[in-house]
Amino acid sequence: MKLVDGEETIVLVTGSSANARAKDTPLAEWLREEIDRRGGGMAYRRAIIVQDERYVRTPAFHDHPTIAIGGPGTNDVAQHLSQILPLVIAKEERMFVQMHLDLRGYQIALWGMDADSTKSAVEAFVSEGLLDSLLTRIWPFRPTTVC
């Protein structure tokens, strides 16, 4: 049974360390709930959470829309993305939202200089409408088939 779809299922990536799991996983869980709620129960329109080590070792995840949560020092995927993604939101050089939404892929890094500023980045991503912008791009309207 297929549980994820490379185009519609979003992969949320947190760091693998105990500290990252303790601080960033609750943020990822909150964001997953927001994404799943917006998916309206439609198959594959949801998010899954994986740790950075698993993401790196699983090439199939690389084709999914990806959101890395946590700083470059605690999340290897955020480390990579923070070097290549354009900055969309920054606050006092402590909180950062970086993203690239194009036909090559959807990649986002939400991070801060500490746990509180990472939380602010995740909240800003949702409250500033960037999550909705992402979902509009990857979950296009699909008419229902009438039999």
pLDDT at 112 over 80: yes
Q: Structurally, what CATH architecture does the domain formed by 10-138 represent?
A: 2-Layer Sandwich (3.30)
Position 5 scores a pLDDT of: 81
Residue entry with tokens 């890094």: 109
pLDDT at 87 over 90: yes
Kindly state the average pLDDT of the residues 57-81: 95
Kindly state the average pLDDT of the residues 56-76: 94
pLDDT at 46 over 70: yes
pLDDT at 99 over 50: yes
CA atoms within 13 A of residue 16's CA, in its CB half-sphere: 10
pLDDT at 104 over 80: no
**DSSP calls for 61-109:** GGGS-EEEES-TTT-HHHHHHHHHSPEEEEETTTEEEEEEEETTEEEEE
Position 141 scores a pLDDT of: 66
In the chain, what's the furthest Cα-to-Cα distance? Answer: 56
Residue 95's alpha-carbon distances to 114, 140, 141, in angstroms, are 9, 30, 33
Q: Which of 30-39, 69-78, 93-102 has the lowest mean pLDDT?
A: 93-102
Mean of per-residue pLDDT scores for the chain: 90
The amino acid at residue 98 is Q
**Domains of the chain by residue range:** 10-138
What is the percent of the chain where pLDDT is above 90? 79
pTM: 0.91
Cα angle 86-90-91, degrees, rounded to a multiple of 5:
175
Is-contact 55 61, C-beta < 8 A?
A: yes
Position 2 scores a pLDDT of: 59
